[in-house]
Structure 1
Amino acid sequence: MTDPATPREEFQVPVIDVSRWTASSTEERAALALAVDEAARTTGFLQITGHGIPDTVQADLAAAMDAFFALPLAEKKALCAPPEINRGYTPPRAEKLSLSLGVSSPEDLFEAFNVGVDGSTCPDGTLPAAYFPANAWPDPQRVPGFREAVEGWFDRAGALARRLTGIFACALGLPEDFFRPYTDRSVDVLRLNNYALPDGETRIEPDRMGMGAHTDYGIVTVLWADRVPGLQILDLEGRWRDVLPAEGALLVNLGDALARWTNDRWRSTLHRVLPPADPEGRLVRRRSAAYFHDGNHDAVISPLPVCVPAGSEPLYPPLTIGDHIAAKLSGSRALRPNDDAARESARLLAADSGDSAHSGDRGGNRR
């Protein structure tokens, strides 16, 4: 087992500048789309520069997160929601992300706060509350400016995610607006994560994950994270590789919906977060904000004909995004193992039985 104090190998995720997508020549757009296709086929993760989100917006978000997570636990717990409502506060040890793959593990250490598209604000009532529940906000007197900072990031990250889906369509040889009918009422969620130990605990238990191994559920995730080690992705050889965000870059990874649409030509990459710890085994500060652009709840995902080899059957049957996300959340939030993730769980279990000591793994994903 590797000592937690040992420096870990940094895995290079492709860096792609998207700033000139709309103003580029045909040749430049083709080159960018080719780079995206290569990254999507090999790692399922990208580092995006030229994203256009000002540093001040990110700084406001980080300050808002710090203020909220510093509140007393009882005050944060007042914002908890039932497992089927993907909103509000989640305390440490309340979720097991690995159960979204049907694989059991100890409870995860992260705490989180979720907001999303609020159906109650839609004037024509076309967004059903089951998929677009109301947000629960902390008292603005206790956390001044929190809602404004979070909504500011939500809007900016959402605009970037929608721009990326246009690039993805071109990378697949499809019209740039191909995904628009599947995402014009997208069940988008922003999850603010803070890695913390429950009150009274000072050391990280063996085999405990900051966030258990999982794939993301929807189309694409836009992630801001502290430049603190912890995030790992599973590579093509089944090895856990460390990822540290480049300065000023946002991490972007593909979700299950794109893997299903592309018949696994593109990867919904397994990833996890080791507990960020000092040499004495004490948790150190790490924050992240994951914007999930998941698609319309009633959109049907079916492998694209262009991605299914002639004479072959598709790897996945048709499935609505809403049903897929519900099955995943019933694992991670309601702690009921998801039985419809055989391909992903097989990859995870194969990795566990292989080179588990790779790159500071610490054996943390052994069951």
Structure 2
Amino acid sequence: MISDTYRDGRQRKGIRREHAISTARISDVPVIDITPFRTGTDPASVAAAVDRAATHVGFMQIVGHGIPTSATAALSEAMDAFFGLPLEEKLATRPSSSSINRGYSARKTERLSHSLGVYSPDDLFEAFNFGSQAADYPMLDLPTELYAANLWPGGVPVPGLTEWFTHAGSLARTMTEIFALALDLPRDYFRAYQHHSIDVLRLNNYQVPPDDTVLEPGQVGMGAHTDFGIVTILWADAVRGLQILDDEGAWHDVVPAEGALLINLGDLLARWTNDRWISTMHRVLAPVDDDGRLYRRRSAAYFHDGDHDAVIRALPGTGEARYEPTTVAEHLAQKLAGSRGLRLNTSAEREASRLLGTGRQ
């Protein structure tokens, strides 16, 4: 039987029994104002709120993040410019190998659930990726496949993308300071793991062409998965699509609050905390409403994954380790070989069990 309370006794909201998809209220994913942390007026209260969200939900909405609305507007304009290009121009920015997480990914070329070792049909989104490059760290001998050169398209206002990338990177590092405080660690604890962090901004476009609306059974905009790294900063249109899976097997809609950014934890942070904190399972529905009408949804996900050579193991005092130590590079390679290389990942049993146990993908 599904319990209607969290482990700490709080009442659940919007959960229907028998694994039905429920419409969660915004309050199910807490909105947290991080201004008191950024200004130093009350960092402890922010850390406590983040700890509660990280423990029970794995997602949170952040306001007071300091990213100007002008930067978000420029990001939106640049996204529209890229996705509005003719297909052949977008395809010209494809990487030479699926293992290179840069450039354009066409619709039906990725399967995010394969990163968990779980089969699903091709995902319906298209995307454009760019991120940190080896050239950004000339004094280091970094693997060029992980720190690949960016593939910029013509006719797209690149400054609008790079400005938001810079702002999101600063916010991601602020969040790791909040995480450290919430975990009773020195505020700069995670800094040693992010000197040359593998950071990627993925622009996603969910828009099914009008002549291609027949979906395979189980086909969605983006398959169920957990994010791979430390933390994800997500901007998204305020429309239905993103869903998160709770620990009782119910899917919940999550729509961003005005001015808020969605923050969710990745696998590496869950491993660090030995599953005290949650790397939440999520997916994106196909952009077709209940009446079969098509709509568009965009998102921009900034993945902050840490240094490629950083070793991730359970923090001291968190009990017997549930995961073997791994490097950031090893973990990302296994995950990307699934989602982009379409090879079922055999190293994500604990994550996969949460999805398979629900009977719903």
TM > 0.5 fold call: yes
Aligned-pair distance for 1:20?
2.2
Contact persistence 2:130–2:202 (CA under 8 A): yes
- Establish whether residue 333 from structure 1 lines up as the match of residue 340 from structure 2: yes
Contact persistence 2:54–2:278 (CA under 8 A): yes
Contact persistence 2:265–2:278 (CA under 8 A): yes
Partner of 1:65: 79
Decide whether aligned partners of structure 1 residues 229 and 128 sit closer, same or farther in structure 2, where only a CA change above 3 A counts: same
Aligned residues: 339
Specify which of 345, 350, 357 is matched with residue 343 of structure 1. Answer: 350
1:346 aligned counterpart, secondary structure: helix
Separation (CA, whole Å) in 1 of partners of 2:195 and 2:139: 15
- Establish whether residue 87 from structure 1 lines up as the match of residue 102 from structure 2: yes
Separation (CA, whole Å) in 2 of partners of 1:30 and 1:210: 38
Specify which of 296, 300, 304 is matched with residue 311 of structure 2. Answer: 300
1:331 aligned counterpart, secondary structure: helix
Decide whether aligned partners of structure 1 residues 122 and 305 sit closer, same or farther in structure 2, where only a CA change above 3 A counts: closer
Aligned-pair distance for 1:187?
0.3
Separation (CA, whole Å) in 2 of partners of 1:163 and 1:152: 17
- Establish whether residue 35 from structure 1 lines up as the match of residue 49 from structure 2: yes
Separation (CA, whole Å) in 1 of partners of 2:257 and 2:214: 29
Partner of 1:133: 148
Cα RMSD for the two superposed structures: 1.6
Specify which of 45, 52, 65 is matched with residue 66 of structure 2. Answer: 52
Aligned-pair distance for 1:116?
0.5
Alignment of 1:179-258 (within 5 A): 179-197=190-208, 200-258=211-269
Give CA-to-partner distance per residue, 1:166-197, whole Å, 9 cap, x none. 00000000000000010111000000000133
Aligned-pair distance for 1:73?
1.1
Separation (CA, whole Å) in 1 of partners of 2:23 and 2:231: 27
Partner of 1:117: 132
Partner of 2:329: 322
Partner of 1:359: none
Give CA-to-partner distance per residue, 1:292-342, whole Å, 9 cap, x none. 00000000000001222xxxx210111001100000000000000100100
Partner of 1:19: 35
Separation (CA, whole Å) in 2 of partners of 1:54 and 1:221: 18
1:316 aligned counterpart, secondary structure: coil
> Which amino acid is the alignment partner of residue 123 of structure 1?
P
Separation (CA, whole Å) in 1 of partners of 2:140 and 2:318: 36
Contact persistence 1:196–1:283 (CA under 8 A): yes
Separation (CA, whole Å) in 2 of partners of 1:86 and 1:248: 29
2:36 aligned counterpart, secondary structure: coil
Give CA-to-partner distance per residue, 1:78-102, whole Å, 9 cap, x none. 1111111000000000000000000
Aligned-pair distance for 1:31?
1.7
Separation (CA, whole Å) in 2 of partners of 1:130 and 1:205: 33
Separation (CA, whole Å) in 2 of partners of 1:44 and 1:8: 18
Alignment of 1:268-279 (within 5 A): 268-279=279-290
Partner of 2:113: 98
Partner of 2:10: none
Contact persistence 1:301–1:320 (CA under 8 A): yes
Aligned-pair distance for 1:52?
0.6
Separation (CA, whole Å) in 1 of partners of 2:232 and 2:161: 16
Contact persistence 1:204–1:281 (CA under 8 A): no
> Which amino acid is the alignment partner of residue 107 of structure 1?
D
Separation (CA, whole Å) in 2 of partners of 1:77 and 1:321: 29
Partner of 1:360: none
Aligned-pair distance for 1:123?
2.8
Give CA-to-partner distance per residue, 1:193-247, whole Å, 9 cap, x none. 0013368414444421100000000000000000010111111212111111111
Aligned-pair distance for 1:121?
3.8
Where structure 2 has 5 or more consecutive residues not aligned to the other structure, the ranges are 1-20
Contact persistence 1:92–1:198 (CA under 8 A): no
Decide whether aligned partners of structure 1 residues 31 and 328 sit closer, same or farther in structure 2, where only a CA change above 3 A counts: same
Contact persistence 2:111–2:122 (CA under 8 A): yes
Partner of 1:164: 175
Separation (CA, whole Å) in 2 of partners of 1:60 and 1:204: 33
Separation (CA, whole Å) in 2 of partners of 1:101 and 1:211: 13
The 10-residue stretch of structure 1 (48-57 or 272-281) with the greater mean CA deviation from structure 2: 272-281
Give CA-to-partner distance per residue, 1:272-308, whole Å, 9 cap, x none. 0011223442431100000000000000000001222
Aligned-pair distance for 1:66?
0.8
- Establish whether residue 155 from structure 1 lines up as the match of residue 166 from structure 2: yes
Separation (CA, whole Å) in 2 of partners of 1:199 and 1:152: 33
1:307 aligned counterpart, secondary structure: coil
Separation (CA, whole Å) in 1 of partners of 2:37 and 2:108: 42
- State the TM-score, normalized to the length of structure 1: 0.89
- State the TM-score, normalized to the length of structure 2: 0.90
Separation (CA, whole Å) in 2 of partners of 1:173 and 1:282: 49
